[in-house]
Chain A
Amino acid sequence: MRKYLSLFLLIFTVFFSYAQTEKTVDIRQFYNSNFKKSPLIAYYYYKDVNNYFTPFIGTWIYQNGNQTFVIRFWKETKASYINENPKYYIDELRAHYKLVQNYGQSNEQVIYTSEKNVGNSVTPWPTIIAAGKALENYKMTGIVFDVAGVLNPSYPTGVRGNLEMTINPDNPDTAQWEVTLPMGMRGLGQPKTFTIPTNITLTKVNQ
């Protein structure tokens, strides 16, 4: 009887332990609708296993006269969504931008920055790019929030745009930055004009 009970407990413990496990998979599986998730896996971790994020990490600038658009990318390793539904971990390319007058000079002045709170809330933007990812080593995509314009309190996240950033294969320190307005019906008065640059060539200034 004890043997049966021990065996039962062992099987139960093994099964329960296994059911709690986390599994690391290629981030591309997050975007693969045919990816079959196992019910035994508690959390998947969608990881940048090929280090495709690496070429994007660092500070990029675009200079127009004495104004410079500066965007800084970093890799958020294993961002947690286990308190949301669906539950998972994922690597993300995150970023913040700013527009600076006389960038790098003693009289430098910030004209706008995304490093601020969302609307009138007390919650800071953790990143101004959502779902930032590179599934190849030269192109990243994501959703960028344009919060540079005058705040319309009814729309605290500003104008949402689709972002595509493509590194020039012949000169990996330059990249094309493109932001487009997603298609769709909107509310009367909803802002849909971008203040941030929408089609520029960025230059990488540090890693």
Chain B
Amino acid sequence: MLLALFSCELEEEVLQKNNYRENIKIRNSTFDALLNEQHFVNAISKLSKSKPAQSKTVMEAEYGFTILPDQVKVLEHKGKTFYTFQIKREVQNPDYFENLVIDTDSIGQTDAYLFKYLPTEPLAPSEEHDSFHFKGAVHITPITYNIAIAEKELHCVTATVMMCDQSWSGSGSTTPHVATQYCNNPNHLTEVTTTTCDMTAGGGSMGAGAGGWFGANQGSQGSDPGGGHAGAGNGSGTAPGSNTNPPVLTAPVFDLDQITKCKTISKQMAKFPGLKQSLIDLAATTSDSHENGIFIDKSATAETPDPVQTVPVGSGGTIDINLNPPSKYTMIAHTHDISGTDGTGTFSIFSSDDMATISNLIQLGKIDTGDFVFYVFTADGTRYAITINCTSCLEAFCYPCNENLAIGTVLDMPRVLQINALIDQTYNKADGIHSQSDPVNDKKKFLEFIKEANLGISLFEVDETLTAFEKLELDPKTKNVIKKPCSN
């Protein structure tokens, strides 16, 4: 009987959820296109306290951000419209990304919020769905103006973040990812409800409040945000303070290229027209009996006559990179020569010491991680590039690393041993990466290493003209290497 009642309740809940999801409309737009929609123009005019045609709104100036205009997600539900934009700041922190969500109803009442998404795992694209996977925390800050300290009060904001587990291609992954307009089956829409409580603040401060957390396997499969079901409703009693507003509805917006990083490489090539030839010239030196290297640092501009500098060759045939350069590195390229350190030959791909050195440089604050490209050209004829997706992941790899350990320091020795076990798994065994191993297998091994060691990087294979770049990934099911050409 109880089971039957329980079933009835579930059925009713499912109907409510489906009804709720069916009423959600998701579409993509751009800022310019939205300027043709009066509803949006009214909303942003109210918030901006300035005309939207102006280059920067008051909201952006006061909170220190810029709206990225190329991609906007518009979610509509029960007469309310929610516009989600990705925003950027002058100094971008690669450990999180931010969205601006504008919430407006049919009578023109408008609010805006900053959503800060902090991934706990590297963001992964699901490009066939024009989406990405996200797991981590979210912090919401309401946009307010000119509030005196005395007027500040505890304010809670509840948001429903839309995720999706639909496999559009029919055979693709069903791992939950951020909902897009392609998630057209309401049965696959998933709502994750999160609440942030904060002292309402002006001036762009991201105050310390109780942030929510969500992720791919934390999605509350369909709680009606209006229905007050346990654990996920509208102000369901989990948060202090009063919050009588319905939840803010959004789906995160993030430029996928910040994951794929194809544009990072092409932009750098475009900025420094001589770089391509310098890389081709470097790649031609792999028959030397020592490694060679070049770099560009952040002080170089497009006008710098010769931005490419040489890394000195150290003892033992390896290059020794300056760990304390005056400017951060934006590009490092090096060769794996035909001899190798022990005269037995080259590694066809990046070594663990290559990665440890980059990790070390990040710890020292000497890598411009957002724009950084790291190349290797080897005597096996292979050419690869790396970009950084998760700074903190790569930063953690080298441990303990170039540290003057203070007297009394306690080290996590299991971690030291485990990192070395991962290196050993990849490099120091018969079918691992070594001087005589098969370069095709080395690619797969290195991609496995990226995953196991949580390096948070993208790997690209490069053609000999340094024109075509293909992003390499491991197929999660077959474990084969997939090549995704960069289109730019």
Contacts and interface: CB of A to CB of B under 8 A. Distances in A.
Q: Do A and B come together as binding partners?
A: yes
Interface of A: 1, 4-5, 30-31, 33-34, 79-81, 83-86, 90, 92, 118-123, 125-127, 130-131, 135, 141-143, 153-157, 160, 162, 180-190, 192-193
B360 A121 contact: no
A143 to B, nearest CB: 5
B320 A186 contact: yes
Contacts of A182: 341, 351-353, 427
B314 A188 contact: yes
A185 B416 contact: no
12 contacts: A33-B444, A118-B411, A122-B410, A125-B413, A182-B352, A184-B356, A187-B323, A187-B360, A187-B361, A188-B321, A189-B320, A190-B320
A123 B414 CA distance: 11
B156 interface: no
Contacts of B411: 118, 121, 123
Contact of B357 (A31, A83, A187): A187
Residue picked from B356, B400, B409, B424, most chain A C-beta under 10 Å? B424
Given A184-B353, A187-B323, A4 B340 contact: no
Given A181-B316, A185-B321, 17 more contacts: A1-B1, A31-B425, A31-B431, A80-B414, A83-B414, A119-B405, A121-B409, A123-B411, A130-B417, A131-B423, A135-B429, A155-B402, A183-B347, A184-B356, A185-B318, A187-B320, A188-B321
B421 A181 contact: no
A193 B405 CA distance: 21
Given A188-B314, A188-B322, A131 B424 contact: yes
A131 B414 CA distance: 11
A34 B428 contact: no
Contacts, number: 166
Interface string B327-345: 0000010101000111000
Contacts of B428: 131, 141-143, 162
Given A83-B414, A131-B421, A162-B428, A33 B448 contact: yes
Contact of B406 (A79, A120, A127, A187): A120
A184 B352 contact: yes
Interface string B397-437: 00010111111111101111110110111011101000100
Contacts of A90: 421
B405 A156 contact: yes
A9 to B, nearest CB: 13
A119 B408 CA distance: 10
B150 interface: no
Contact of B315 (A81, A157, A192): A192
Nearest to B376: A185
A75 B403 CA distance: 31
B429 A84 contact: no
A131 B420 contact: yes
B319 interface: yes
A154 B421 contact: no
Contacts of B404: 120, 153-154
B250 interface: no
Given A33-B479, A185-B321, A122 B414 contact: no
Contacts of B360: 187
A19 to B, nearest CB: 15
A121 B320 contact: no
A93 to B, nearest CB: 12
Nearest to B402: A154
B442 interface: no
B424 A142 contact: yes
Contacts of A33: 444-445, 448, 479
Given A118-B400, A184-B354, A130 B416 contact: yes
Interface string B348-366: 0001111011001100000
Contacts of A127: 417
A76 to B, nearest CB: 10
Contacts of A123: 409-411, 413
Contacts of B53: none
B461 interface: no
Nearest to B364: A187
Nearest to A154: B402
A126 B291 CA distance: 35
B418 A81 contact: yes
B452 A185 contact: no
Contacts of B316: 181, 192-193
B149 interface: no
A90 B414 CA distance: 12
B293 interface: yes
Nearest to B444: A33
Interface in B150-183: none
A183 B409 contact: no
A156 B415 CA distance: 15
A141 B353 CA distance: 18
A183 B405 contact: no
A196 B405 CA distance: 23
A52 to B, nearest CB: 14
Interface in B1-30: 1-3
Contacts of B416: 118, 130, 157
Contacts of B415: 84
A171 B298 CA distance: 59
A187 to B, nearest CB: 4
B104 interface: no
A130 B3 CA distance: 55
A85 B2 CA distance: 42
A1 B2 contact: yes
